[in-house]
Structure 1
Amino acid sequence: MKVLNKYLFLILIDTLSTQIPVDIPLLNQSKDQFRLAIQLERIGEIEKAETIYLEILKKNPKDTRVFLQIKSLYRKQEKYDKIESLLLNRIEIFKNDIQSHVELGELYLINDEKERAIKYWQSLRLKFVETRSIYFVLIQMYSKHNLEQELEQLVSSGRKSFSDPAFLSLELGNIYKRNFDYGNATNQYLLFAKQNPKLIRNATVQILRMSDLEDSYEIIEKKLLDNLSKNDDKVIKYLYSNFLFKFQRYSESFNQYNEIGIKDETDLDQWLVLAKNLRKENQLKLALNAYTYILEVLYKSQLSISSKKETRAIGEALFGLALTYELEITPNITWSPIATYFPDNIFFEDNLIKVELIELKPLEETFSLYDSILTTLPTTTFPPKAHYRLGEIKYKITRDFDGAISSFSESASSSKEKTLKLNSNLRLADVFMAKGDYSLAINHIEKKLEENHLDSSGHNLEFKLCQIHLLNGDINTSITLLNKLLSELDLKDKLFNDALELKGFIEENYIQGDQISKDAFQGYIIGESLLRQGKRSEAASFFRSISETYPKAPIADEAVFRRAGLTLEFGDYKKSIELLNSIQISSLGDLAVVMTAEIYDRFLHDREEAARWYFKVLEDFPTSLLVEPVRYRLREITKDS
């Protein structure tokens, strides 16, 4: 195909050649000419391509694109005499084209006129004596041709001329690196960093890249330590810390920062980056220490920085601290249960997660520091997302509901982002319910609905209002609100399925039942309400009471399933299995059997018994939505055994 294309292209060129003079005059557009020449060059028609390039340059000698293309063509052909002519013409037009001047000297070197080349290059340095660019171009040329002595003289001359001891240090470091001289390369990168502390990142990047090369690790570390022993410079400490961090020596890396402390704005920025990186690497204890130290320094106003910078740094540190605590105190769930109660339905979300073995004292000390900072500076200057994250911790973990209300209120009032403002207001309602203050929760949402009656967030607020009324025992009002909401929601709205599912749940267990069923459902709702308040033992007792007092009520099986889940959480696996066995022959049978399998699988680590229960799901509930995830889990455990 390529041969055919070339053949057709040549036919086209030959056809054109019969219609235009042999010297190929200019076409209408230089762009078309250039493209034609490129195509000719690609198919090997070098002379014709060269002719077109020269025609374009004759018309426009300043066309850099064509100049570079034909120069490249001549280099491939090693036509150095033509390159020389091309460069001389270029220099005549652009007298300060340093690159062309230097390349002209290279031609002398290629023609074995080394002395002439060096003298010419030295004359260029005198000609462009105040221009740093000549040094940058020459150092690459000297490196290319291994002119080590001239290179050293060039660097020395440049540093003296510009009174800059680190001039060309990055370039020289890169040259040493290419020559596998990692020790001298490290020295040059360190020199650059010490003289340009604000550009420390440039040196860091080079050192870390070099550390990937074979046999470089020990040499680099030795040079870093040697420099530290001679000069206790914090810039070197930062570089060494970054080096240690890359190789996951996190504690040692953190210790380098500890020795430096925070004495100026540069230190502050470095610490913020360190804390963030520690969090990303899941080094949560160290990240917490870093963020806390930053806040302590800022709180004591030990730095001479602008109030704007200080406020931004405090906000960043508070937000990072909140994210880090969330990661540390949220249970490390390595698997997702298959058997879940109304999966993904936001009405049944269990926000007040059970947290084990959490040291609350450091958390409380951090919040004390946080509150102290808030009283010192205007809270409106803090990022709303930081308030929201801290509110989440106070609500879900420490159960400091008053503190959570303060944080969420600040987030809601100061946020300009609609989603964050909405989530903050929804979470405020959750906290009011957690405190058992349903009247306040209702008033809060109704007030927000009045403010946002035409806003897209209205439906979320309406659904939250349904939830509040239902958990408060006002089931009829909840149904009325649900019907109204469903009439307004689009079928594609993410709330539609949740609202429809909740309505069906209420109708089946309350609306369609007799008075006994209604009483049972009212009791069941109290259990759900207790869960929202974090009272898990009391909720389990209520679910037990409902299932035992109203065993024939439609909601009784749900109460047993809820109790089984809580009993499992309390660690009573035997009792949980017993409860689940009691509802196998019910509408929740597939859930009960799957949860039983998961208890044997994930908690008792009895894979053989777990497989038996998983197979029971496939046999007894072939149409269940849980069949596919069960099949997948079965393949996993049978493959491993």
Structure 2
Amino acid sequence: MKKAFIIIALLYSCFAFSQNNFMLAEDYMRQGEYKKAAQIYESLLKRNPFNTTYLKRLVTCFQETDQYLKAETLLRETLKNNPGQKYLHVEIGYNFERQQKMILAKREYEIALNSIDINPSLGGIIGRMFRQNNSLDNAIIAYTKTMELNKNANYQFQIAQIYGEKGEFDKMFGAYIELVDQNESYLGTVQRLTSRYITDDSKNENNVSLKRALLRKSVSNPKDVWNELLSWLFAKQKEYQKAFIQEKALFKRNPEYIDNIITLGKIAFNDRDYAAAKDCFAFLLENTNFIDEKLNAELYLLKVGIETGEKNITQRFDTVLSTYGINSKTIPLQIAYADFLTFKSGNPEKAENILENALSFSKSKFQQARIKLKLGDVLVFTGRFNKALIYFSQVQTKLKNHPLSQQARFKVAQTSYFKGDFKWAMAQLKVLKGSTSQLIANDAVDLFLVISDNEPKDSIPSGLKEYARADLLAYQNKDSEAMTILTGILSKYKGFPVEDEALFKQAQILVKQKKYNEAILTFAKVVALDPQGILNDDVYYEMAELYNKQLNLPEKAKEYYQKIIFEYPSSIYLVDARKKYRELRGDTIN
């Protein structure tokens, strides 16, 4: 036993010694001290003569110090001692290539490639070594030959990547499609990798190339997976109607694809393609027998109606709830109805009745939490802050550390702010600034800054109370009253920190009223007021979004996204601005 322990200890000691020395040699390599690195690699290779990593590193050290003969001698001696390592001919050839001796290099490469005919198991390592040495055409030959000789070998993935490195994207897409053809489990991986080369522009050369390859494959070898990939591509290009056509074709062959239509409908809705979203959910409603899916479809069809300004939404809600019943399954519909009645239809009393009734039959604490959050919103809308705070606090207490609890805490802070209780609002916001929900964290930071920048000092009015009042009126859709108060703030508190907040809020209300050009002018006043102001990145992002989505002026949008990228590197909008700027510029997004 003691002897075995000593052997294990010695082996571990040798391993630790090798690892430490290898790391030291690697460090010397990074610093360009090849002679020092070579000495260590030589020592390591003597201890481990079959370690190809040490051999490769030592050869590289010799090559970097122009000791090509020494490198060749080492490789040939190793090959002589181990005749089965025919892949070393790749390294010998590369050693010649570095010396511009291309004829000798080619001869060694041919020996390596021919060895695959005798022993196909060498093909993988030979292909890899060619690729490491940037001999990409030879790597493709090695991998292709190996697959021809061994039907169980699959190097389509490596071949596709090499074509990508060569910039031969037609061939790259073809190789990825072959990979999926052989094994459909690679679908997700291929989607992830090909997404690096395509954009949301359907006319982009790579998008066209991928579409062409998929259509060609779907004709020569029809499979559901080609429809899936085409749908995915169309969705990437924001051509949701075309994606829907593919998903319908899949559904007709296999009803399980109904989930894809649900997902597509939600994506289209979130991207404001309401026509495509409506088609998806109308199709879902007609083709499912599951009550949950029907209710989901009804909910989104109503949401589409609200967003597109359809008439008789109240009647449609009543009809749907009459059809499916006022019960626990229709609670999401009831909450959406209450939201519509309050914030769109101006009937908060009916909304309150619906939600209080829903509380009486809700079956889970999460259902109750969602109802109470919306009920609190309705109460804030009607100015009953204390009762709203009770509901928000109940959610916060019962669902600690849950996202709904964080949402409730923010609503407590916001309601306290509307009431003028700024200290309690700040106490809640300080906790929320580290929220796991990025959206809640960002909202908390924004409100925190509004209060902290404008808190009255030494009992001197700062305009914060008036601003909070205007903010509440905007929340209650009393936009003209909000604008009047904000105009008063701009007159009374000129030169105070609240001035830029008031201008920014006016611009947001103008956007809400679809007065986009007026909003642009008002946003510009915020920047003119203070070129170093803390709201300037918010301003630039809002302006970029208006130019991009509402005014259809992509060049102007690029200008403001670019300002965020170069002037505000710590902005919360940086990642989004960079992505949208590159999309507008037509870049391939990685």
Report the TM-score, using the length of structure 1 for normalisation.
0.49
Which of 320, 324, 327 does residue 368 from structure 1 map onto?
A: 320
**How far, CA to CA, are the matches of 1:366 and 1:261 in structure 2?**
31
The one of 371, 375, 386 equivalent to 1:428 is 375
Match of 2:107 in 1: 112
Q: 1:270 to 1:171 in 2, by over 3 A?
A: farther
Change (3 A) 1:362 1:247: farther
1:50 and 2:62 correspond:
no
Q: Does structure 2 retain, via aligned residues, the 8 Å contact 1:187–1:223?
A: yes
Task: Spell out the pairing of 1:356-395 with structure 2 (5 A cutoff).
Answer: 357-361=309-313, 364=316, 368=320, 372=324, 392-393=339-340, 395=342
Query: 1:69 pairs with 57, 62, 67, which one?
Result: 57
Cα distance, 1:39–1:296 mapped onto 2, change above 3 Å? same
Runs of at least 5 residues in structure 2 that lack an aligned partner in the other structure: 1-13, 94-104, 432-443, 455-460, 462-469, 544-590
* Pair 1:123 & 2:118 matched: yes
Question: Does the CA-based 8 Å contact 1:291-1:321 persist in structure 2?
Answer: no
Cα separation, partners in 2 of 1:35 and 1:196, compared to 1, 3 Å: closer
Cα deviation for residue 255 of structure 1 reads 2.5
Matched, 1:80 2:27: no
1:259 maps to 249
Q: Is the 8 A contact 1:139 1:151 kept in 2?
A: yes
Q: Is 2:119 the counterpart of 1:203?
A: no
Q: Does 1:283 align with 2:273?
A: yes
CA distance in 1, matches of 2:313, 2:191: 38
Match of 2:223 in 1: 233
Paired with 2:490 and 2:111, the residues of 1 have a C-alpha distance of 96
**Are 1:144 and 2:136 counterparts?**
yes
Native 8 Å contact 2:198 2:207 kept in 1: yes
Partner of 1:414: 365
Q: Deviations over 1:554-612 (max 9, x none)?
A: xxxxxxxx79528x8xxxxxxx89xx89x999999x999x89x969x9689998xx99x
RMSD: 6.9
Cα drift, residue 138 of structure 1: 4.8
What is the DSSP-based 3-state SS (H/G/I as helix, E as strand, rest coil) of the residue aligned with 1:357? coil
Deviates further, 71-80 or 236-245: 71-80
Deviation at 1:393, TM superposition (A): 4.7
Contact 1:170/1:192 (<8 A) preserved: yes
Label 1:368 to 1:115 Cα distance change in 2 as closer, same or farther (>3 A): same
Superposed counterparts of 1:82-97, under 5 Å? 82-86=74-78
Shift of 1:52: 2.2
Distance 1:357 1:172, change over 3 A: same
Q: Superposition pairs for residues 211-230 of structure 1, below 5 Å?
A: 211=198, 215-230=205-220
Alignment CA distance shift 1:455-1:157 (3 Å)? closer
* Deviation of the 1:173 alpha carbon: 3.9
Deviation at 1:364, TM superposition (A): 3.5
Aligned counterpart, 2:481:
565
Report the Cα distance in structure 2 between the residues aligned to 1:216 and 1:235, rounded to whole angstroms.
20
Counterpart residue type for residue 365 of structure 2:
S
Mapped to 1, the partners of 2:400 and 2:161 lie a distance apart of 58
**5+ residue gaps, structure 1:** 1-25, 93-99, 129-133, 302-310, 331-355, 472-477, 502-507, 509-527, 537-561, 569-575, 619-625, 637-641
The reply to whether residue 158 of structure 1 matches residue 165 of structure 2 is no
CA positional deviation for 1:286? 1.9
Contact kept? 1:173, 1:185, Cα under 8 Å: yes
Structure of greater Rg = 1
Amino acid at match of 1:425: K
Count residues with an aligned counterpart: 454
CA contact (8 A) 2:123 2:146 kept: yes
Taking the aligned partners of 2:33 and 2:73, their CA distance within structure 1 comes to: 21
Cα pair distance change 1:362/1:84, threshold 3 Å? farther
Q: Deviations over 1:351-393 (max 9, x none)?
A: xxxxx93445499469938984997xx85xx9x9998667645
Give the direction of change, closer, same or farther, for the CA distance of 1:111–1:218 in structure 2 (3 Å limit). Answer: closer
- In 1: Cα distance, 2:365 partner to 2:174 partner: 50
- In the TM superposition, what is the alpha-carbon distance from 1:112 to its structure 2 partner? 1.9
TM-score (norm 2): 0.52
Judged with a 3 Å threshold, the aligned counterparts in structure 2 of structure 1 residues 254 and 57 are, in CA distance, closer, same or farther, namely same
Q: Work out the CA distance in 2 between the residues paired with 1:102 and 1:386.
A: 70
Output the CA distance in 2 between the equivalents of 1:598 and 1:533. Answer: 13
Per-residue deviation, 1:114: 5.5
Identity value in percent = 16
